[in-house]
Amino acid sequence: MANKVRIALVGCGGISGAHMHGYRDLAEKGILDFEFVATCDVNRNAAETRANEAAQLQDGRKPTVYEDVNELLANEPDVEAVDICALHRVHHDLAVAALNAGKHVIIEKPLGVTMKACALILEAARRNNRILAVAENYRRSAGQRATNWALNKGVIGAPRILVYIDYGEHLGPWGWRDSKVDAGAGWVLDGGVHYTDMFLYHLGEAKEVYAHVRSFDPHRYRKPDTKQDPIPVNVEDSALAIVTVESGAVVQWSSVRAAPGQRFNKHLIYGEEGSLDYGGNFTARGKDEAINLQDEFQKSLSADQRERFFPAGITNTIAQELWEFGKSLRDDSFTPETDGVVGMKAMAICMGVFESAWINAPVDLREVEACRINGYQADIDRELGILDANWNVWA
């Protein structure tokens, strides 16, 4: 891309390092379609670190470092796009400010800390006619692509049940992610939004959630091996949910981080004629041995499809999503695969889990998306002042 997208990186903590690695991979392949103009973080040292890393990708030209996003937006009118990698509670503040300033946005998952926060972002993108992408990378792996290809090809017939089960234990502290108002929830949202995006990718629209949520361990420990030096947490550690899909398929989703002893993990899609796992392995009805379909999937790709999925042969899923975002700003034939609405729908399944547990009944996901069911989320919205918006525009 001759005319590179002038971009600012906002939020320079942990996940931004993965983004910088993605940009580095694009640079090494000669397809870095971005020019870094600025970095921004309330921790100036973090912003300086990312600025120095960016300088290495553009012949030593160091981006300007900021500690305040509004100052960045006021001083850098030539910035076209913003890559947001901040903690969940400020996603909506940063994204709305950037979109209102006329910038395109790619934002780390989840889209917002609550559904009302998501609505604020979606409305700002619509009102300003800006591109909004959610950095949702799991679906982009070669295994997920092969699984989705096999499903669309009808290898297992009509999908019936998707089983997504993870049991294990996590007792160590996790910083701001242990706070409901900062993170929105625990792993059911933080990691879970990746999983719900894959439910949508493989099975299509979800319509209802029924769930039980628990906090079996209300403390994390600075010394987890001996359960010493406790830290109180107010997010869940366990959820068991049934998600029904418009197609008639059902998802059995169990996410438990309070299960000491033997770990148990299973990710499978069962259909009329067999099963597929998330690595593209197909087991036919009546057979014991799985057949890996990744080679067949790769051979099926046209040159255009291969470039779209794996530009210049890149398998780094974060690099792929960043490349796609850049292309979408310059090529009208490209749109972000996981745009704001897709990100909102994945978020709604996660929040549907908590809202169902809140009322101990199934919830309609259209009602969750429209912010008409928000008992679990209400205290977060109050704390952050998320009270007024046009919630029904996306209903």
Residues 315 and 280 in one domain: no
pLDDT of res. 393: 47
Report yes or no on 84 lying in a domain. Answer: yes
Distance from C-alpha of 55 to C-alpha of 37, rounded to nearest angstrom: 10
Report yes or no on 201 lying in a domain. Answer: yes
Q: Which of 251, 281, 302 is the last residue of a domain?
A: 302
Contact 318, 21 (CB under 8 A): yes
Strands lying side by side in the sheet with 132-135: 64-66, 34-40, 5-10, 81-84, 104-108, 132-135
Place of tokens 């990698």: 85
Report yes or no on 349 lying in a domain. Answer: no
Closest CA relative to residue 26, chosen from 336, 325, 297: 325
Q: Which of 322, 338, 354 is the last residue of a domain?
A: 338
Closest CA relative to residue 10, chosen from 77, 57, 66, 92: 66
DSSP state of 170: -
Residues 204 and 217 in one domain: yes
Report yes or no on 215 lying in a domain. Answer: yes
Please report, for the domain that includes residue 291, its CATH number.
3.30.360.10
Please report, for the domain that includes residue 94, its CATH number.
3.40.50.720
Residues 331 and 287 in one domain: no
- Extended strands (E) in 181-304: 206-214, 219-223, 228-232, 238-245, 250-256, 264-271, 274-277, 281-284, 291-292
Can you state the percent helix, strand and coil of the chain, rounding each to 5?
A: 45, 25, 35
Residues 67 and 147 in one domain: no
Distance from C-alpha of 240 to C-alpha of 256, rounded to nearest angstrom: 8
pLDDT of res. 394: 47
- Structure confidence by residue, pLDDT tens digits, 221-230: 999 999 999 9
Report yes or no on 364 lying in a domain. Answer: no
Please report which helix (H) or strand (E) contains residue 97, including its range.
helix 91-100
Residues 86 and 159 in one domain: no
Q: What is the pLDDT along the chain (395 residues), one digit of tens a residue?
A: 569 999 999 999 999 999 999 999 999 999 999 999 999 999 999 999 999 999 999 999 999 999 999 999 999 999 999 999 999 999 999 999 999 999 999 999 999 999 999 999 999 999 999 999 999 999 999 999 999 999 999 999 999 999 999 999 999 999 999 999 999 999 999 999 999 999 999 999 999 999 999 999 999 999 999 999 999 999 999 999 999 999 999 999 999 999 999 999 999 999 999 999 999 999 999 998 999 999 999 999 999 999 999 999 999 999 999 999 999 999 988 999 999 999 999 999 999 999 999 999 999 999 999 999 999 999 999 999 997 655 554 44
Residues 143 and 291 in one domain: yes
Contact 243, 201 (CB under 8 A): no
Tell me the sheet residues that pair with 281: 292
Residues 49 and 196 in one domain: no
Please report which helix (H) or strand (E) contains residue 66, including its range.
strand 64-66
Closest CA relative to residue 223, chosen from 171, 261, 178, 186: 171
Place of tokens 């300086």: 48
Token code pair at residue 290: 């799985």
Q: What is the total count of domains within the chain?
A: 2
Residues 238 and 161 in one domain: yes
Token code pair at residue 33: 């379609």
Residues 133 and 251 in one domain: no
Which domain, by its residues, includes 297? Answer: 139-302
DSSP state of 78: T
pLDDT of res. 333: 87
Distance from C-alpha of 291 to C-alpha of 296, rounded to nearest angstrom: 10
pLDDT of res. 395: 44
Residues 91 and 180 in one domain: no
Model pTM greater than 0.75?
Answer: yes
Closest CA relative to residue 84, chosen from 111, 44, 57, 115: 111
Token code pair at residue 24: 């580095």
Distance from C-alpha of 49 to C-alpha of 20, rounded to nearest angstrom: 11
Report yes or no on 102 lying in a domain. Answer: yes
Number of helices (H), then strands (E), in the chain: 15, 17
Residues 121 and 168 in one domain: no
Token code pair at residue 362: 């199934």
Report yes or no on 203 lying in a domain. Answer: yes
Residues 78 and 162 in one domain: no
pLDDT of res. 387: 78
pLDDT of res. 388: 64
Closest CA relative to residue 162, chosen from 264, 238, 254, 239: 254
Give the dihedral sign, CA 92/94/100/103: negative
Report yes or no on 272 lying in a domain. Answer: yes
